[in-house]
Amino acid sequence: MAAQVISGKKVAKEIREELKIETEKLIRDTGVQPGLVTILVGENPASVSYVTAKGKAAKKLGFNSIQENVPADISEENLLALVEKYNNDSSIHGILVQLPIPKHINDKKILYAIDPDKDVDAFHPMNVGRMVIGEPVFLPCTPAGIQELIVRSGVNTEGAEVVVVGRSNIVGKPIANMMLQKAKGANSTVTVVHTRTRDMAEHTRRADILIVAAGAPKAVTADMVKEGAAVIDVGVNRIGTTESGKAKLCGDVDYEPVAEKAGYITPVPGGVGPMTITMLMKNTLKAAQVAASKK
């Protein structure tokens, strides 16, 4: 039996409609319009396209959206000063510095300079810590999007075996942490496998929910998946080009054979991707709501 395809595009649209209504309400009730600044250093084509999409999504929800383009050779000091300017700007509730940034700048120094209350990526150690102890203000965007997709698809997480492939700070570690929380949409038994795992397939074959953020195409093949499992593919690999000359995207899962075996699967593109931006919008709205409640 073929898997049910989980459309991140559709779920993201649903959530954005909810966020638009909440944004209108916030503006009406408090006069506070959510403000998001995205900072793009240099002209990395993938980064340009992500930042453009984030700005567009923000405008569509009625946010005040500012894009700061700075040259690739900006000094660390000047980039820190720019972050500081927006830390002190009460009309801005979310600050996002698009990664990667050029090597001559210490990216951690920049990310950790963002006011934790405006850290809508949730990369600051304060927000990481809040998440780990189960008291989050913001959840990191991609993991939050994954969890929403699982929950809104009706996949049971209570007591489920969740296996996460990959241990990055952006996806693997936080999603593993979120799924083991004593909370709705979590309460799972979590295993994290990675490049040093002895027998990866032995673990992945036990998964009721398999979350794949390995960073390599076809890292998960059908023999590694349990019949009926929910497979969430977080991979974004650019391989080759389409007829129109655009980069062709594929995930980390060997899609067709895995879709034959799984119960649920997310496609690439159109799966986790649209959810990440949506969760960024959710975090920005939350930051504005918190700011409005303190006025």
Closest CA to 232 of 211, 259, 207, 250: 211
Q: In terms of CB distance, is 36 or 160 closer to ligand GUN?
A: 36
CB 143 within 8 A of CB 171: yes
Q: Whole-angstrom Cα distance, residue 193 to residue 201?
A: 9
Could you give the C-alpha distances from 177 to 105, 116, 186, in angstroms and in order?
29, 19, 9
Interaction of residue 278 with ligand GUN, rule CB under 6 A: no
Interaction of residue 96 with ligand GUN, rule CB under 6 A: yes
Residues in Cβ contact with 108 at an 8 Å cutoff, skipping those fewer than 6 apart: none
DSSP H helices in 71-124 = 76-87, 107-111
Q: In terms of CB distance, is 66 or 99 closer to ligand GUN?
A: 99
Which of 66, 99, 132, 137 contacts ligand GUN by CB under 6 A?
Answer: 99
The least CB distance from residue 99 to ligand GUN, in Å, is 4
Q: Tell me the one-letter amino acid at 14.
A: E
Task: Tell the residue number behind the tokens 């998440």, with chain if given.
Answer: 131
The least CB distance from residue 29 to ligand GUN, in Å, is 30
The least CB distance from residue 65 to ligand GUN, in Å, is 15
**What are the structure tokens assigned to 260, written together?**
């034959």
Q: In terms of CB distance, is 52 or 189 closer to ligand GUN?
A: 52
| Catalytic center residues | 54, 98, 121
Q: In terms of CB distance, is 169 or 221 closer to ligand GUN?
A: 169
Q: In terms of CB distance, is 121 or 254 closer to ligand GUN?
A: 121
Interaction of residue 121 with ligand GUN, rule CB under 6 A: yes
Q: Whole-angstrom Cα distance, residue 255 to residue 264?
A: 11
Task: Report strand pairing: 237-241 vs 247-250.
Answer: antiparallel
Q: Whole-angstrom Cα distance, residue 207 to residue 220?
A: 12
Task: Tell the residue number behind the tokens 């390599």, with chain if given.
Answer: 216
Q: In terms of CB distance, is 95 or 163 closer to ligand GUN?
A: 95
Residues in Cβ contact with 103 at an 8 Å cutoff, skipping those fewer than 6 apart: none
The HSE-up count of residue 103 (CA atoms within 13 Å, CB side) is 0
Interface stretch with ligand GUN, choices 10-18, 91-99, 240-248, 258-266 (CB under 6 A): 91-99
The least CB distance from residue 218 to ligand GUN, in Å, is 22
Interaction of residue 141 with ligand GUN, rule CB under 6 A: yes
The least CB distance from residue 15 to ligand GUN, in Å, is 17
Interaction of residue 98 with ligand GUN, rule CB under 6 A: yes
Site for ligand GUN in 155-184 (CB under 6 A): none
The least CB distance from residue 7 to ligand GUN, in Å, is 21
Q: Which residues bind ligand GUN (CB under 6 A)?
A: 96-99, 121, 141-142, 276
